[in-house]
Chains A and B, each alone.
Chain A
Amino acid sequence: MKNEYSITLVNKEVLGPACAVLTFSCPEIAGTGRPGQFINLSCDHFLKRPFGIMCTDQEKGTFSIGVRKVGKGTDMILKAEEGDTFTVLGPLGNGFDFSDVKNLLLIGGGTGIFPIFFAAQYAKDQGIPCKVVNGYRSKSDAFLYDRFSCTCSDFQCTTDAGDLGTKGNVMAYLETMDESALSDTTVMVVGPGIMMRKVSEWAQAKGLSCYVSLEQRMACGIGACLVCVCKIKAEQEGKEFVHKRCCKDGPVFKAEEVIW
């Protein structure tokens, strides 16, 4: 039976003024969490807050998440100190399916870079050739740059400011990619909605299979309350869409099924 776990913050690595990597002790999530899955973390507000898992360490029994301040809940979580306790549900959601992946192209933006890191690490462990393209605002915003560089032999980034990597957003880089470098490639993208949409359209035009990780305002995270639905193309004839639950049916969906 699944449970709600009491967990302790064991490490806080501040990345910037409103962003940090938090590592918690929780053998259960460390043992079973997969890339693309998320956890629902308590804060001092009523509802829990969902975060994509950034990595797990099975030996130490820990997992990490990246947190960026969005509102009061994430602000409180970012102010937590090592030794503080939380409650958590997880791992939640379906996660990415790597079973038929021959070559991987991972694309991250915003807080999407954190779950993308988990996917990159997993690809490395599994020996799946993997390229990562992260879109940042500027060099000062290029969180996890060193970690991605160490984990992934082919790590590229773009910045809106143009002070690191290709100038522009991730599309600016993708459009320079040679067709031959994309054969048998699966695309996984986590980031702002507009970015995932643009990348999906690009991948579809190239005939690449593409997965996106959708985000919606969430409550339970376990599929019971139906508040976090997204529009997915219906299989049934005469019906345009069905509402699927981001938390339980997703958060990972095939890009071609999503109605943006």
Chain B
Amino acid sequence: MSISVKVGEVALKNPVILASGTCGFGRELAEYMDLSKLGALSSKGLTLLPRDGNQGVRVAETPSGMLNCVGLQNPGVDAFLETELDYMVDSGAGVVVNVAGHSNEDYIAMVEKLDPYKEKIDALELNFSCPNVKEGCMVIGSSPKAIEALVSDLRKRTTLPLWIKLTPNVTSIAETAKGAEAGGADAVVAINTMLGMAIDIRTRRPLLHNNTGGLSGPCVKPVALRMVHDIYSAVKIPVVGCGGASTYEDVLEFMIAGASAVELGTISLVHPTRPVEIVEDLEKYCQDNGIEELSSLTGTLELWR
């Protein structure tokens, strides 16, 4: 019996990955769980230069989820390499490094900075989908042609596996996934947060001081599942599911829909021990159901005709 999975060439001891932006670089959640039991953790989104992020109120609760507008507060890629990368490596979890640029040049510069550390990094996750910064990111991620052009450029600059994290805020996520595949991506990650809003009826102002924010948590799971399935049906490269998974059953749903691995994280903001419990539950599920290879579930969805 094995719960290990592969995302293309990247082997993970199990499919559970902490999603970028929900776990920092692992230090805080390490107080609550043994990170080495996880498949991987994806770093806080890095930018070329340090970013303070957005000011004012950054969170609004929603039914079964939350909106955030943190705005990529991070120490910058250089400080990451100096103080955080080794911590992530030593944690024993797989290391996914999430990078978010304001322009093509930003992504190029960051990929070139990270490429020399390929021994320590399992995959680069290119965030083409942050809804909370005004420039870059989601603009590139909305156009299949722009994605293809940038990925094919980055492809030439590193042999590190390139995972493209896609935004759900498009008409067809299958099309943006195809752009990533055409550019030479190794995998796509779907989905980043959905752009949303919350309003204070007393002040008639948005609750978030960025006006809008990214919706995450169990409320987005049905949308994420549908999109994972759309992508799985449209491309040959692996899909990493992401969006509201909170239990082992959710992880199984994502895998059946077509995901090779599953990122989660909003749930660990509420229950920080949950990710390792999910790993244990997946093991038990396989044992109880006589499943030899958990990875065999990927893409086994049978649609009604």
A residues in contact (CB < 8 Å) with B: 1-4, 45-48, 73, 87, 89, 216-220, 222-229, 231, 241-243, 248
Contact = CB atoms under 8 A, between A and B. Distances in A.
A242 B32 contact: no
A224 B268 contact: yes
A47 B270 CA distance: 6
B61 A224 contact: no
Interface of B: 21-24, 27-29, 31-34, 44, 52-53, 55, 57-66, 68, 70, 73, 217-218, 268-273
Contacts of A1: 31-34
B53 A224 contact: no
B63 A46 contact: yes
4 nearest CB pairs, A to B: A227-B59, A220-B269, A223-B28, A227-B58
A4 B277 CA distance: 12
A223 B58 CA distance: 14
Contact of B270 (A3, A220, A229, A241): A220
Nearest to B52: A243
B271 A4 contact: yes
A223 B64 CA distance: 21
A90 to B, nearest CB: 12
Contact of A217 (B31, B33, B59, B64): B59
Given A217-B59, A225-B70, A226-B24, 10 more contacts: A4-B271, A45-B61, A46-B61, A46-B62, A46-B218, A47-B269, A220-B270, A220-B272, A223-B28, A225-B21
Contacts of A73: 61
Contact of B70 (A87, A216, A226): A226
Given A1-B33, A222-B31, A46 B270 contact: yes
Contact of B66 (A2, A3, A47, A241): A47
25 contacts: A1-B32, A1-B34, A2-B31, A2-B32, A3-B32, A46-B64, A46-B65, A47-B66, A48-B270, A73-B61, A89-B272, A216-B57, A217-B57, A220-B269, A222-B31, A223-B28, A224-B28, A224-B268, A224-B269, A225-B68, A226-B53, A227-B58, A227-B59, A227-B68, A243-B52
A192 B290 CA distance: 58
B200 to A, nearest CB: 11
A224 B29 contact: yes
Contacts of A222: 28-29, 31-32, 272
A95 to B, nearest CB: 16
